[in-house]
Amino acid sequence: MDSKINYVNLFDSISCIEFFPFSGFKLLRSAGSCSKIIAKDNLNSVLKLKSGWQISLPNFAMGVFGPVSNISHGFKVIEKAGINRNLGIRPTVRGVIKNPCDHPHGGGEGRDHLLLLKFLLEDDYVKEHQVKIKKKIG
């Protein structure tokens, strides 16, 4: 049920919040998210988010009582590739596997373990971060 933040009691859970009146719900829309109202005055309310941030919003912005449903969404285990395909997600092919004409990381004879270090050496990454490079023996 939508309500203005002004009418919600202190320390109640609230989700789907507007930044300012009539802007549409922008905050706390993902599954299981909510915040608590920790302070109020005539113009603004202070909300504490789960991340620990505290934000001040106008009292006449709208919000929804309680947390967003489907709290167990984050615990869903994708057991096989076919489940993702049924959800419409196509397979992802790494650039290292592709041919050199298809991707900048593609090609080469076999697998090169120092591929990452080749790119790092070009940008003087080694000097800044003091990366130790092991020499191949034999």
CATH (domain of 55) = 2.30.30.30
Count the Cβ atoms, other than its own, within 10 Å of residue 42.
Answer: 6
Residues 59, 106 within the same domain? no
Residues 7, 66 within the same domain? yes
What Cα–Cα distance (Å) separates residue 108 from each residue in 28, 92, 102, 116, 127?
47, 20, 13, 14, 27
Q: What's this model's pTM, rounded to 2 decimal places?
A: 0.57
Residues 115, 62 within the same domain? no
Residues 67, 104 within the same domain? no
Classify residue 17: in a domain, yes or no. Answer: yes
Q: What SS3 class is residue 45?
A: strand
The predicted pLDDT at position 126 comes to 53
Classify residue 115: in a domain, yes or no. Answer: yes
What Cα–Cα distance (Å) separates residue 27 from each residue in 35, 40, 53, 109?
10, 19, 12, 50
Q: Is the pLDDT of residue 30 over 80?
A: yes
Classify residue 52: in a domain, yes or no. Answer: yes
- Nearest Cα to Cα of residue 29 among 62, 59, 57, 60: 62
Tens digit of each residue's pLDDT (9 = 90 or more) over 66-125: 999 998 888 989 899 899 999 999 998 888 888 989 888 888 777 655 555 565 555 555
Classify residue 111: in a domain, yes or no. Answer: yes
Q: Which residue segment(s) compose the domain that 54 sits in? A: 2-71
Classify residue 33: in a domain, yes or no. Answer: yes
The domain tally of the chain equals 2
Residues 67, 98 within the same domain? no
Burial class (CB in 10 A: 0-12, 13-18, 19+), 62: middle
Classify residue 120: in a domain, yes or no. Answer: yes
Q: Which helix (H) or strand (E) holds 129?
A: helix 125-129
Residues 15, 59 within the same domain? yes
